[in-house]
């Protein structure tokens, strides 16, 4: 499985790297091996894993066997986004 980056996702990752040190390999690790995948809007999915006191969330679409990253963000709102088992 390959990770395809959109321009927007690349720009957002760079912004988060400056503020929280979130690297592109870290984002790829989340999208390829997330702790959890939840449904997003309009047929998208969100791969998410805990990071520090929050969540690193990576919205993506499945393109064949590959995953196309739409954006990247970190949030402290764990209770809002984490889906209980």
pLDDT of residue 8: 97
Q: Which residues of the chain have pLDDT under 50?
A: none
pLDDT digits (tens, 9 = 90+) for 17-41: 999 999 999 999 999 999 999 999 9
pLDDT of residue 56: 97
pLDDT of residue 84: 80
Closest CA to 29 of 51, 61, 6: 51
Closest CA to 51 of 17, 14, 7, 15: 17
Mean pLDDT of the chain: 95
The hierarchical CATH code for the domain 3-71 is 3.10.450
Integer Cα distance of 26 and 13 in angstroms: 10
pLDDT of residue 29: 97
Integer Cα distance of 27 and 9 in angstroms: 10
Integer Cα distance of 19 and 68 in angstroms: 24
């Amino acid at each position: 499985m390959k990770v395809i980056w959109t321009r927007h996702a690349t720009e957002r990752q760079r912004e988060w790297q400056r503020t929280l040190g979130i690297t592109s390999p870290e984002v790829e690790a989340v999208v390829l091996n997330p702790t959890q995948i939840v449904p997003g809007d309009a047929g998208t999915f969100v791969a998410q894993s805990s990071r520090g006191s929050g969540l690193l969330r990576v919205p993506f679409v499945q393109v064949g066997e590959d995953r196309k990253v739409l954006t990247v963000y970190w949030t402290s709102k764990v209770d809002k986004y984490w889906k209980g088992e």
